[in-house]
């Protein structure tokens, strides 16, 4: 039974629960909201709408923190963000041409790729070369458009280096905010952004803010090794859950 904008009560309940949990993870680790939220929403909504709704939420929560993100982010975040803007429309267009089952499989594979990448040996503080940075930007943009997940290439790029935690978090979240903006702009251009999705995002925003603040509070009380362990565990759990839903 539809209760709002074509959404059923079950879909709304799933979306609210997923929003609270994924936002807590974002506050705890600095990433993970899209990786966790899109696969769950894609079970209740068409994959395209799940991606667009997640982009709207990512932009809204990022806008509330934009000053600190700009202040603390590494300069490479702007380079990656610019490439994301250019390549996101390509990924979103590909998603609009893909069947639901194929899209859900690809989303699960993307979640798995993030877990595998974080297991690679950690590097020093040095900035990777232009080719590596550019590749991260292009892949992140394609994944933003196709799956609403800019994180799989970005998380290992920053969390896999010996950087201060505030720099890692701010750099990733600045890119995610830019990616969300590009995703919504692309959805508007392609004519797949419904006003009901934006209103739905506004209704979910209090859950996102509450979960994010709670996660950030917990993050400030744990050590760096525990934080990095949490990053790997969350990525692994997301991959397992995404494939579990396909079976």
* Sequence spans of domains, the chain: 2-244
Average of per-residue pLDDT across 237-246: 68
Contacts of residue 194, Cβ cutoff 8 Å, sequence gap at least 6: 5, 49, 52
Question: Among residues 147, 168, 140, 129, which one has the least CA distance to residue 29?
Answer: 168
Q: What is the pLDDT of residue 122?
A: 65
This prediction's pTM: 0.80
Task: Provide, rounded to the nearest whole percent, the portion of the chain with pLDDT above 70.
Answer: 89
Average pLDDT over the chain reads: 82
Q: What is the DSSP letter of 120?
A: S
225 vs 230: CA distance, rounded Å: 9
Q: Which residue do the tokens 């079970």 mark?
A: 43
Question: Among residues 24, 17, 18, 70, which one has the least CA distance to residue 216?
Answer: 24
Instruction: Write the pLDDT tens digit of every residue in 79-88.
Output: 999 999 999 8
Least confident of 59-73, 125-139, 171-185: 125-139
- 238 or 68: whose pLDDT is higher? 68
Q: What is the pLDDT of residue 123?
A: 65
Average of per-residue pLDDT across 151-175: 87
Least confident of 8-22, 94-108, 135-149, 202-216: 94-108
Instruction: Write the pLDDT tens digit of every residue in 184-199.
Output: 888 888 787 778 888 8
CB 143 within 8 A of CB 103: no
Cβ count near 214 (within 10 Å): 15
103 vs 112: CA distance, rounded Å: 14
**Cα-based distances in Å from 117 to 106, 155, 192:** 16, 8, 32
134 vs 138: CA distance, rounded Å: 6
- 108 or 181: whose pLDDT is higher? 181
Instruction: Write the pLDDT tens digit of every residue in 24-46.
Output: 988 888 877 877 787 778 777 77
């Amino acid at each position: 039974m539809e209760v709002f904008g074509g959404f059923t009560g079950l879909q709304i309940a799933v979306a609210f629960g997923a929003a609270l949990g994924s936002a807590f993870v974002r506050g705890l680790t600095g990433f993970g909201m899209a990786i966790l939220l899109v696969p769950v929403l894609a079970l209740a909504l068409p994959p395209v709408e799940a991606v667009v709704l997640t982009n709207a939420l990512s932009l809204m929560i990022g806008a509330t923190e934009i000053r600190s993100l700009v202040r603390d982010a590494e300069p490479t975040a702007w380079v990656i963000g610019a490439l994301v803007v250019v390549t996101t429309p390509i990924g979103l267009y590909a998603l609009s041409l893909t069947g639901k089952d194929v899209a859900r499989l690809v989303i699960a594979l993307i979640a798995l790729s993030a877990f595998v990448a974080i297991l690679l040996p950690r590097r020093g503080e040095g900035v990777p070369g232009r080719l590596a940075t550019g590749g991260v930007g292009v892949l992140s943009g394609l994944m933003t458009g196709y799956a609403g997940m800019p994180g799989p290439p970005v998380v290992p790029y920053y969390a896999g280096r010996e950087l201060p935690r505030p720099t890692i978090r701010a750099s990733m979240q600045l890119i995610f905010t830019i990616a969300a903006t590009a995703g919504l702009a692309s959805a508007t251009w392609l004519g797949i952004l419904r006003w009901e999705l934006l209103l739905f995002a506004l209704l979910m925003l209090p859950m996102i803010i509450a979960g994010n603040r709670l996660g950030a509070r917990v993050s400030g009380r744990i050590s760096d090794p525990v934080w990095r362990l949490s990053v790997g565990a969350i990525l692994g759990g997301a991959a397992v859950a995404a494939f579990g839903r396909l079976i």
